[in-house]
A and B are shown apart, each in its own frame.
Chain A
Amino acid sequence: MEPVASMQVSVTVNGDVYGREVEARRLLVHFIRDDLGLTGTHIGCDTGNCGACTVILDGVAVKSCMLLAVQADGASIETVESLATGDGELHPLQQAFSAHHALQCGYCTPGMLMSAKHLLDHNAEPTENEIRRAIQGNICRCTGYVNIVEAIAAAAKGEVSA
């Protein structure tokens, strides 16, 4: 085996398998946004702090700006586009976010939703502190997190309208 500057990858995103030739240096977030056209996942910083790029990769929440696309070869990824059903019915988290005004500009929201989904997939009854820890890696500059925490708590309890 020798190092390669680019290679063919096969990545499953939201249930669909994509085969693409990518440069080794391409960040996963750019692969998702530019190569696959899934622009729901966002970029907010240069240093992996803001979490706007959060996706779920092989079942765990990760920041896709700190992964290379080639590292995702063979992996299964969920992005915000996977949350609503094919018929357009919103995921309980999406409904709760809207009901509780947990988004203003909406830029951090996809990453926030994926972190929240990861939390609820692993912890059905999170405390407030656990909710805050779950979204600690997601910066929001609009909401002060107040309504986001409320929305996640409501979704956990199955209460999706305000």
Chain B
Amino acid sequence: MSNEKQMNIEELTQDAHNFNKGTDEGRELMQRSLKELGAGRSILIDKNGNIIAGNKTQEAAIKAGITKVRVIETTGDELVAVKRTDVDINDAKGRELALADNATNQVNLDWDEEELANAAQEYGIDMNEWDMALPEIVDPDQPVTTETKDQKELKLVFTPEQYTFVLAALRKYGDDFTKSLLQILNINE
């Protein structure tokens, strides 16, 4: 068994090189989850109190009014299970916690390409080992083009909600999205 202590949530240190930039929608979902359902899975910190995983959760928890953190020390040889003694998985709160855990992870992820590249170089991390290829990472702030003779590809990155909206809007003009876009912008083919 371990040492267990309580500390103020603001004593934890955010990761200055977080690989995840997060999203506005993700932040909202996370705050709502913490306010309405309470805290779920733990975050992960290193020996010096730096947040390894759950930087966005700590931020959202502060905004949701959570002030205390219970720290469970371990060397990773056992799995920690946070047991919500007030929750039954088969009621609405339990199901929403399960849904929120997956959904907030999905919606709140926006990779920071620069930080990934720096970490790969500085620490010798092989991104391929985690099914990632740095050159394929798309910077959401910049359009990316790929040229092949007279062909170019316009790549635009959207949040899932925006992406769904754009697809639906393009489909109103037909199933050929190149033609749809040109038609919408009044450009002759």
Q: Are chains A and B native binding partners rather than an unrelated pairing?
A: no
Residues of B within 8 A of A (CB): none
Residues of A within 8 A of B (CB): none
